[in-house]
Amino acid sequence: MALRILQGLLPFLFILGLSPLLVGLINKQKALLTGRTGAPIWQPYYELIRLSRKETIYAKTASFVSRLAPVVVFSAVLIAGFMLPVGYTRPLLSFNGDIVVFAYLLGLARFFQIIGAMDIGSSFEGMGAAREATFAVFAEPIYFFTIGSLAFVSGYTSLYEIYLSIRLDNPSSLVFIIVSSISAFFLMVTECSRMPVDDPNTHLELTMIHEVMILDNSGVDLFLYQYSSYIKIMIYGIYEVLFFNPFGMQNQWLGFSLFIVLLLLLSTIVAWVETMIARLKMKNVPQYLLFATAIGILDLLIYTFVK
């Protein structure tokens, strides 16, 4: 009983507690790669604490949507996070068909973020919202083609069971792991507004996608937005890393350690990409995303051949 409670608490604590740390790690490694000392890895926590203490100010033109949006975004992202297994444990929420719910919970979060941005009526935020909406159209197929083809292969429709079904003894799984993890990485950088799709460090409103949508938010609202963006990185990080889980599935503790190591490795890869690669031209982003979708389609092709 006690173990089960612990197992239930683990994903909760992991996702809520450690997602800022993952961002801190990425930023720290990025700084180190460019020869700087960088902010401490705890910096995202300090940011969150600072924001939570600040006063929340609303624009004169803001309606109830602006007040509602941050809460909806945060809750939707958090619930989606609970559908993913952390390491080997069974997730808090797991049922047949949750791959669709997972996608559209994040879709709901995006929708509210977009209307929250449009609600203010600033031209900058309108531009950001338009970009977010456009790129979402190209990002969604990536998710469904990667996880969807795995669902086809395994016959399961729950994220946990799909991941469990990846077996090393099946040679086609190996191909799936490689191919899916590539498109999952593309999905991650798009959804989490990282390079080369969006630049989290820029101060230029005209080039931003995610950052420009939260320009007019402050205090607790900004806290919720920032926290949900940290959680999103954690979610997509887990989503990516779990493809490699079969290597550690045999042993729970080994599986969990491997899971952590892979997450750290992923943060290094993200930091490396952000240092070494320039951002894409905005008009080339759809091409970049379609490439990832094409990889996803490759998954389905592999499936038909294997079958």
Partner 1 sequence: MTPLAVQNHQPFSTGDIPILPVKEFEESLRGELLTQARMIGLFGLESKGQETTVIAVLARPLKSAIDLIGTKFSSAKNSYKTFADIFPQTHYFECELAENHQIIPEGHPWLRPVRKQTICGQELYSPYRMEGEEVHEVAVGPIHAGVIEPGHFRFQCHGELVYHLEIILGYQHRGIEKLLLKASPYQQNILCESIAGDTVIGHSMAYALAVEALSNTSVSLRTQVLRAISEELERIAMHISGLVGIANDIGYAIGSASYGRLRTLVINSTALLCGSRYGRGFIVPGGLQFDPTEQLINAMKENLQVVYDDVRAINEVMFGSSSVLGRLDHTGTVEKEWAQSVGMVGPAARACGLDTDTRSQFPYGAYKYTHLPLITLSSCDVFARARIRALEIEESFRFIFDQLENLPSSSIRNQLDSILSDSGVVSLTEGWRGEIAHCAFTDSNGAWKRYKIKDPSFNNWYGLGLALRSEAISDFPLCNKSFDLSYSGHDL
Site residues, partner 1 (CB under 8 A): 30, 33-36, 123-124, 126-127, 130-131, 195-196, 199, 201-207, 274-284
**CA count, 13 A, side-chain hemisphere, 202:** 19
Smallest distance, Å, CB 208 to partner 1?
Answer: 9
Smallest distance, Å, CB 275 to partner 1?
Answer: 4
Give the nearer residue to partner 1 in terms of CB position, either 256 or 272: 272
Smallest distance, Å, CB 286 to partner 1?
Answer: 12
Give the nearer residue to partner 1 in terms of CB position, either 172 or 275: 275
Give the nearer residue to partner 1 in terms of CB position, either 3 or 278: 278
Give the nearer residue to partner 1 in terms of CB position, either 75 or 275: 275
Phi, psi angles (nearest 5°) of residue 188: -65, -50
Phi, psi angles (nearest 5°) of residue 215: -55, -40
Give the nearer residue to partner 1 in terms of CB position, either 33 or 103: 33
Smallest distance, Å, CB 274 to partner 1?
Answer: 6
Give the nearer residue to partner 1 in terms of CB position, either 68 or 273: 273
Torsion of Cα atoms, 120 then 124 then 128 then 133, to 10°: 60
Contact 57, 64 (CB under 8 A): no
Q: Where are the beta strands (DSSP E) in the chain?
A: none
* CA angle in degrees (0–180, nearest 5) for 22-263-13: 60
Helix axis angle, 171-191 to 252-276, nearest 10°? 50
Smallest distance, Å, CB 34 to partner 1?
Answer: 4
Determine if residue 35 is left, alpha or beta; phi over 0 gives left, psi from -120 to 50 gives alpha, anything else beta: left
In angstroms, rounded to a whole number, what is the distance separating the alpha carbons of residues 81 and 84? 6
From the list 205, 149, 194, the residue with the least C-alpha distance to 285 is 194
Give the nearer residue to partner 1 in terms of CB position, either 67 or 279: 279
Give the nearer residue to partner 1 in terms of CB position, either 39 or 282: 282
From the list 260, 255, 257, the residue with the least C-alpha distance to 168 is 255
In angstroms, rounded to a whole number, what is the distance separating the alpha carbons of residues 247 and 226? 33
Smallest distance, Å, CB 59 to partner 1?
Answer: 16
List the structure tokens of 41. Answer: 């890895």
Smallest distance, Å, CB 209 to partner 1?
Answer: 9
Smallest distance, Å, CB 123 to partner 1?
Answer: 5
Cα 158 vs. chain centroid, distance in angstroms?
A: 18
